[in-house]
Structure 1
């Protein structure tokens, strides 16, 4: 009897079960067929906050190598050749060890971003592994400070969707000639990030002073840059123009003719000279011979971030895109304010025609 009753029974599906099943099928269809998926473009987008933090880390860790080599007196110096002015263009172990560490730090975290360095050498895994613990320990305090400063400037992350729009420029050791002569006052390590052709992020680290300066155009600058600008509140009675001590060319004569009221002072390394413009030791930085873009990109970014200006001596903005020649042949003029830049550009331009 029981089996016959079961044979005659039918399963009834309630309307609410049909609706639930339909909704489940729709949800599965959305997940597998219609939902937008994070394609390669989204997965490769670049977090600019993290990129700036990494740039600071790279510059400071490269600086540790620069100091270590100088203190060991094992420079292992060679020559790249002669400069236009006839001076030796040296290459030291400090250049190469800094390059290896800086490029490794940046390329590991941002492999899809265009990358240009003054030096060309691949890091060996063994050399980096032996140094990584020391680097992390010695730069941790600085990294915490940068994170705090970035949090105040940009509470939420800022992204660039296509890494191909960015170019990282690094100078593992600026003022190598002076470094080889133990004139460490002028030495810097630098990282710059350009967006399309314009400088966006700039980091200048002074390894023998343990000072780091950075700027993010349109967003803000480090506390160290603010402090340097605070010192620059009062202009000196006699304006000063800073020029290169080892690449002078005709620049000293040009400045004397164009601005006889100004005192010409010299310094080494583009990073150092930009710093002297930032703190108002010099009111302008002038360079009349060829200069590489990895020497000037970081300083250009920081100047832009504080409202300053850096151009060629013809008044053109510099192009930092990866496709362009890394050498700038048109000279350089930098000032901390647009009005001062315009003043010196007007004074210098007529004189440059004759040189």
Structure 2
């Protein structure tokens, strides 16, 4: 296997995410929904833009990194026994995208070495925001370095959360705890996981948690947050890695306070 130039891989991910974003915007305002009545997941919504964006990204990875694994939301995983795995969400936030309820949708492309996220790109085309990080190089928003908020007081914290497609009621236990008067200031649920996670990395909001999300929701955001200064773990406190379903993300002090609060 040839050695991997991570700077090249990051440039590739940025360029590919922008091209996928062009597909999303070319379909925006006249979205074609694909029938998913055959799916066992009745919360699933798929559009032609999901499929076209996924095809573009997977084809680009296959051409440029033919010996790498690929996991994406829309197709079966490509497994070639590589230590490197690309993790792709061609359109996160399909509901706000389809129904035009907000600009909270994005393309997410992550790269893991083994189970460790080492590269992440999240592109929100309608917001013109591109978040990127490479292990050891810090995190950026549109090329400008970003850092996680230093807020430590839970009572002042705005926190993102998402239910996911499966086991949605699992999140209710955490909601019940965190919404009491001694909890946080506000909980945002945007119908999109990658962007509120990126908002944590850039200091727009203060933390994010979910009990059940997919690899493509979390892989790129995990490394972006780590490089921005967040502590990124599961809800059990284990360092997040590819395959983990839950996540808690905040600056180290707020993260500790939230962990202690959830355990009460």
Alpha-carbon displacement from aligned partner over 1:77-105 (angstroms, at most 9, x marks no partner): 3227465xxx6310100100100111111
- Offset at residue 277 of structure 1 (A): 1.2
CA contact (8 A) 2:202 2:228 kept: no
Unaligned runs of 5+ in 1: 1-40, 123-162, 321-325, 351-355
Distance 1:203 1:258, change over 3 A: farther
Distance 1:233 1:268, change over 3 A: same
Q: Which residue of 2 aligns with 1:68?
A: 26
Counterparts of 2:11 and 2:94 in 1: how far apart (Å)?
A: 25
Counterparts of 2:150 and 2:134 in 1: how far apart (Å)?
A: 22
CA contact (8 A) 1:235 1:280 kept: no
Q: Which residue of 2 aligns with 1:271?
A: 194
Counterparts of 2:137 and 2:90 in 1: how far apart (Å)?
A: 25
TM-score, reference length from structure 2: 0.85
Larger Rg: 1
Q: Which residue of 2 aligns with 1:23?
A: none
Q: Give runs of aligned pairs for residues 215-294 of structure 1, distance below 5 A.
A: 215-222=133-140, 224=142, 226=144, 228-229=146-147, 232=149, 238-244=156-162, 249-250=171-172, 251-257=174-180, 259-288=182-211, 290-294=212-216
- Offset at residue 234 of structure 1 (A): 7.0
Unaligned runs of 5+ in 2: none
Q: Confirm whether residue 103 of structure 1 aligns to residue 58 of structure 2.
A: yes
What CA RMSD, in Å, does the superposition of the two structures yield over aligned residues?
Answer: 2.7
CA contact (8 A) 2:152 2:253 kept: no
CA contact (8 A) 2:207 2:248 kept: yes
Q: Confirm whether residue 204 of structure 1 aligns to residue 122 of structure 2.
A: yes
Counterparts of 1:213 and 1:283 in 2: how far apart (Å)?
A: 17
Aligned residue among 206, 231, 241 for 1:319: 241
Report which of the two has the higher share of helix: 1
- Offset at residue 339 of structure 1 (A): 1.7
CA contact (8 A) 2:234 2:248 kept: yes
Q: Give runs of aligned pairs for residues 20-99 of structure 1, distance below 5 A.
A: 41=1, 44-71=2-29, 73-79=30-36, 81=39, 88-99=43-54
- Offset at residue 46 of structure 1 (A): 1.5
Aligned residue among 246, 249, 258 for 1:334: 249
Counterparts of 1:342 and 1:93 in 2: how far apart (Å)?
A: 42
Counterparts of 1:202 and 1:261 in 2: how far apart (Å)?
A: 28
Alpha-carbon displacement from aligned partner over 1:16-71 (angstroms, at most 9, x marks no partner): xxxxxxxxxxxxxxxxxxxxxxxxx4xx2221111111111111111111111124
Secondary structure at the counterpart of residue 229 of structure 1: coil
